[in-house]
Amino acid sequence: MYKIIPVPPFDIILFGATGDLARREILPALFRGFSVRQVPEDFRLAGVARAEMSDDEFRALCRDSIRSAQEPQAGEQEVLEKFLRKLSYFPLDATGGAGWDRLAAWPRPDKILTFYLSVGPSVFEQIIDNLKHNNMVRPDCRIVVEKPFGQDLPSSQALNGILAGSFNESQIFRIDHYLGKETVQNLMALRFANVLFEPLWNWQHVEHVQITVSESIGVKGRQGYYDAAGGMRDMVQNHLMQLLCLVAMEPPARFEADAVRDEKLKVIKALRDMSSRDIVRGQYGAAAGMASYLEDSETTYSETESFIALKCRIGNMRWGQTPFYLRTGKRLKARMSEVAVVFKRLPHSIFGLRDQRRNNILAVRLQPDEGITLQVTIKEPGPGGMRLIEVPLDMSFAESLGPEIGTMTNAYERLIMDVIRGNQTLFMRNDEIEAAWRWTDQVIACWSEEGSRPEIYAAGSEGPSAAAALMDYGRQWRVIE
Ligand code: BG6
């Protein structure tokens, strides 16, 4: 059983409380925390949204959302009802100046106060202004913001400016939910808590690194947002960038927020400028009974990429000669995310003329079935000479640590608890996010200047054929399965 350390009592004001993210992730995460007593009895939540609703109607909405996210287990019904009694609702147009009095009087002065903006960035400024005018911003409060954090460098700088106008950087929590995933944090444990890997973790031993975040879902339902963003802004600028940083960064002196974020920032700053020959973009076409991107987006023309693959280089002493391949897409063959570190081959094989040298591959699977696999070469069992085969040393977390591992905590639960504790290690700092946008803007400029269109790939496939060509020198993408 894992150890639960309760967080201190807190008040949280959730803007966008009836929205999709609040219902799908935030409220169920708070309930899970409450049911394992990590969230203390003395917590309260104020839901804010435009719709007119009573406290009881809001609680009924939350009950449904929590039940559909995770069926309460035996005996949890009572806990759920207790949790719901901690929730209140404030119908309010948070972008307007009227009607704030009741909300402004709600927070308890002696409890931790968190504002959670589960709303689009276009309304950040008005909400923050209103918080300020109603004297709700305190030196000890925290503010949580969701992605998309801007659309490019200037808009992210503007958002950072708005936040900095009312909050210190130590009060601002920019969420990238990938950093809350168990295996993503395990990348750091693997690298920095074992003697085995760090000596090999550099250009001399690593042939290349592949990071894949493959999704089987399409864009239907979010087409408005997605068509303006595309895979580069939606996934690479944030989630894949964070994975890249955790693989490539130098060991921080301590596992502390600024020490970790300083090292991540150095990686982003060391990313070389890209050219269009190192970028492949794709868009899914109808196949196997699945609609095309254009159909899902209810449009007849779009240049937005639903798939992107990049060959990146990090210009520093550790990685100078090791390419990092990133790939992400929608409507691919399967949902599969992994980081694969492909080691160089031995310089010589003692086992015969035929080239029996193979690459060791360390694959860290994020989802589904979290775990770590190390591909090693061994002797094929049985008599009749020395033949070599590759086998995986497979460590599925579920097998090693128990099946409940996957349900222990989810990314949002962990991240919200970190907000209450005031621990920013797993959140992005202003300079980090701006550096990531600076690089992203340069990548996007490569194709927007050329006006190139994404290659169509079949829905349910492994992406456009050009992605394979990006893998030069005999390298191959890991199979999506
Ligand atoms: C979100 C993106 O940030 O991450 C979505 O906006 C994507 O497009 C999602 O589907 C993927 O998250 P996960 O946790 O399902 O891998």
Confirm if 51 and 93 have CB atoms less than 8 A apart.
no
Give the mean pLDDT of the chain: 93
Phi then psi for 223, rounded to 5 degrees? -60, -35
- CA dist 299 and 294 (Å) reads 5
Q: Is 133 designated active site? A: no
Name the band, by pLDDT with cuts 50, 70 and 90, for residue 118. Answer: very high
> Are 330 and 307 contacting, i.e. CB atoms less than 8 angstroms apart?
yes
**Rounded to the nearest 5°, which phi and psi values hold at 93?**
-85, 100
Nearest CA to ligand 1 atom 13: 178
User: Band of the pLDDT at 2, cuts 50, 70, 90?
Assistant: low
The closest-lying atom of ligand 1 relative to the alpha carbon of residue 229 is 6
Residue pLDDT, tens place only, 258-280: 999 999 999 999 999 999 999 99
Q: What digits encode the pLDDT tens for the residues 157-209?
A: 999 999 999 999 999 999 999 999 988 888 999 999 999 999 999 999 999 99
Name the band, by pLDDT with cuts 50, 70 and 90, for residue 352: confident
Integer Cα distance of 467 and 333 in angstroms? 15
Residue 379: the pLDDT is 87
pTM of the model: 0.94
Ligand 1 near 234 CB (within 6 A) = yes
pLDDT computed for residue 71 by the predictor? 72
Q: Give the active site residue among 177, 208, 239, 348.
A: 239
Which of 45, 127, 123, 143 lies closest to 89 in space, CA to CA? 45
| pLDDT value, residue 356 | 67
Residues 6+ apart with CB under 8 A from 195: none
Q: How far is the CA of 292 from the centre of ligand 1 (A)?
A: 19
Q: Is the CB of 215 under 6 A from ligand 1?
A: yes
H or E, element range at 420: helix 411-421
Ligand 1 contacts CB of residue 182 (under 6 A): no
Q: Is the pLDDT of residue 416 over 80?
A: yes
